[in-house]
């Protein structure tokens, strides 16, 4: 019953009004697997980096329950690089650079032993690649998928094919509105669920997240952070906490899915407190449980009706 993550591994240069970092560890697979590794392991990944990818980052991933067997290191190749600059309120950013490098020809070949993985997380990559991954899998039990506006606008047909083959789609609110062509988020959710994925999670940044599953709508609060340093990777971290928790408990009932949404939110709340993956490098499971409990407290109310 292993867990497989497929997506990007990158070197990120991020500037915010407070600080900048260069060539920091980034990429969807990185955040997803680091977050999932706090709940379960080994977390298998399939991805590609160049020869320039620092050994310290490989060591970091390995020390966090991440199995690197499926990570191709292209001799002489350069790792995918992304650079972005956040605006004053940290809610918007400009992409300054996208250098695909070895990621441009990324052909996700799933090693034989990982094709039987029962839990699969498709990071935010080209839907064509997501389909290629799905084609290689042998009847996975639970598939989670992320995407973004770029693919919704540019590869909608392929994305719709992906949605018919996954259990969970995780997107943000503006992506949900774009995908459904509908400004009302609740209507948009219904439209998207009809596209395929039976579970939809809409991330709303500082406003928390919404889960749509069967007839259930579950609203997860946001953690009241006074200091957000770097929003990069928050969504990927959410997906990692979400699938990591579910893989740990081996249960995808509505109650477990709700808890997974809170664990995903808790992990994301750590990530944004520091730059790059820093906050995910030295957490304890106790800290994660504490934050999970804080999330429950934020929306807890006695149910007496007067």
Binding site for a second copy (CB under 8 A): 88-91, 183-187, 190, 204, 206-208, 210, 217-222, 224-228, 245, 248-249, 255, 258-259, 262, 289, 292-293, 296, 298-299, 301-306
Q: Please, what is the minimum distance in Å from the beta carbon of residue 215 to a second copy?
A: 11
CA dist 75 and 20 (Å) reads: 29
Is-contact 264 36, C-beta < 8 A?
Answer: no
Contacts 24+ apart (CB under 8 A), 171-177: 171/146, 171/147, 171/200, 171/201, 171/202, 171/203, 172/202, 172/203, 172/204, 172/205, 172/235, 173/202, 173/203, 173/204, 173/205, 174/149, 175/147, 175/148, 175/149, 176/200, 176/202
> How many other β-carbons are positioned within 10 Å of the β-carbon of residue 183?
8
In the complex, least distance from residue 148 CB atom to a second copy, rounded to whole angstroms: 21
DSSP-assigned letter for residue 300 = -
Q: How far is the CB of 147 from a second copy (least distance, A)?
A: 22
Q: Is the Cβ of residue 19 or residue 293 nearer to a second copy in the bound state?
A: 293
Q: Which is nearer to a second copy, 63 or 289 (CB)?
A: 289
Q: Which of residues 162 and 279 has its CB atom nearest to a second copy in the complex?
A: 279
To the nearest whole angstrom, how small is the minimum distance from the Cβ of residue 250 to a second copy? 11
When the beta carbons of 151 and 292 are compared against a second copy, the nearer one is 292
299 and 258 in contact (C-beta within 8 Å)? no
Q: Which DSSP category does 112 fall into?
A: G
Indicate the residue among 42 and 221 with the shorter CB distance to a second copy: 221
Write down the least CB distance from residue 184 to a second copy, Å: 6
Q: How far is the CB of 83 from a second copy (least distance, A)?
A: 23
Q: Are strands 10-15 and 20-26 parallel, antiparallel or unpaired?
A: antiparallel
Q: How far apart are CA 77 and CA 66, in angstroms?
A: 22
| Minimum CB distance to a second copy, residue 185 (Å) | 7
* Residue nearer to a second copy on the CB measure, 79 or 269: 269
Name the residue nearer to a second copy (CB basis): 139 or 301.
301
Residue 15's contacts (CB-CB under 8 Å, 6 or more residues apart) are 83, 84, 85, 86, 96
């Amino acid at each position: 019953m292993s867990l497989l993550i497929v997506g990007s591994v990158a070197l990120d240069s991020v500037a915010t009004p407070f600080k900048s970092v260069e060539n920091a560890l980034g990429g969807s697979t990185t955040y997803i697997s680091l977050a999932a590794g706090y709940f379960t392991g080994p977390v298998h990944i399939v991805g590609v980096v160049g020869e320039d990818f620092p050994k310290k980052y490989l060591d970091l991933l390995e020390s966090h329950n991440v199995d690197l067997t499926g990570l191709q290191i292209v001799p002489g190749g350069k790792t995918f690089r992304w650079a972005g600059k956040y605006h004053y309120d940290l809610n918007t950013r400009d992409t300054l650079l996208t250098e695909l490098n070895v990621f441009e020809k990324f052909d996700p070949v799933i090693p034989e032993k990982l094709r039987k993985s029962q839990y699969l997380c498709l990071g935010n990559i080209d839907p064509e690649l997501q389909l290629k991954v799905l084609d290689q899998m042998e009847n996975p039990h639970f598939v989670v998928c992320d995407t973004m506006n770029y693919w919704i606008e540019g590869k909608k047909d392929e994305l719709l094919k992906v949605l018919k083959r996954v259990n969970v789609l995780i997107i943000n609110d503006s992506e949900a509105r774009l995908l459904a062509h509908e400004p009302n988020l609740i209507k948009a959710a219904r439209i998207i669920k009809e596209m395929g994925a039976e579970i939809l999670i809409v991330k709303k940044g500082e406003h928390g997240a919404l889960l749509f599953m069967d007839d259930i709508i579950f609203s997860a609060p946001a953690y009241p952070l006074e200091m957000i340093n770097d929003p990069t990777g928050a969504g990927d971290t959410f997906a990692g906490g979400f699938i990591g928790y579910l893989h740990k408990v081996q249960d995808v009932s509505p109650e477990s899915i709700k808890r997974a949404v809170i664990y995903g939110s808790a992990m994301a709340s750590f990530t944004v407190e520091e730059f790059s993956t820093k906050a995910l490098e030295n957490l304890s499971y106790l800290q994660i449980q504490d934050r999970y409990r804080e999330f429950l407290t934020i929306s807890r109310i006695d149910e007496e009706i007067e």
